[in-house]
Amino acid sequence: MDVKGLDVQSGTWLAANCGKYPSEKDCKLVLMAPESQREDLINAAAAHAVADHGHQDTPELRQELGKFLERVTV
């Protein structure tokens, strides 16, 4: 994932890439946060999964979202 044009601080980031998983909406949303804000990213990804994909906000959903995060070095 190339993020050079986003003007983000260098370091290790985490990305939640909805486009990697099939959906009826063909969603391509990518959310990113510094590694130190992992929980904030999971909260944002869970809110998106609930509001836009009809999932229930459960501990299991959040656990699965945490497994899907990708490390991105900027």
Provide the pairing of β-strand 12-17 with 70-73.
antiparallel
Let me know: does 45 contact 66? Beta carbons within 8 Å: no
Q: Is the pLDDT of residue 53 over 80?
A: yes
Structure tokens, 58: 């459960």
**Mean pLDDT estimate for the chain:** 92
Residue 6 pLDDT level (bands cut at 50, 70, 90): confident
User: H or E stretch including 68?
Assistant: helix 59-68
In this structure, the number of other CB atoms found within 10 A of the CB of residue 64 comes to 15
pLDDT tens by residue, 21-52:
888 889 999 999 999 999 999 999 999 999 99
pLDDT value at position 52? 94
